[in-house]
Amino acid sequence: MAISNHNQWVVSDAGHSGKVYFWDVVTGELIRILTSPTGDHLAFSADDKQLAVGSEFGEIILWALPAQLR
């Protein structure tokens, strides 16, 4: 789980399901689901424009977040 630097979103993974969930901090609403082959570790960039998704095997995927999430 990770919280965006602007405290707008929480992201969580669903273990090995390959899904990353974006939640609105204020409303608690699920706003986006991304599919990722990894998902054990999550971190936002300092400007919240990217999300790093890493696995326990050292794989890292860097997502450019859609404009509607920024």
Whether residue 1 has pLDDT greater than 70: yes
Per the model's pLDDT, the better-predicted residue between 45 and 68 turns out to be: 45
Q: Containing H/E element for 64?
A: strand 60-64
- pLDDT, position 16: 66
| Cα of 3 vs its chain's centroid, Å | 9
Each residue of 11-60: pLDDT tens digit?
988 666 778 899 999 999 999 888 877 667 899 999 999 999 887 778 88
3-state secondary structure (DSSP) of residue 38: coil
End-to-end CA distance of the chain: 18
- pLDDT, position 34: 85
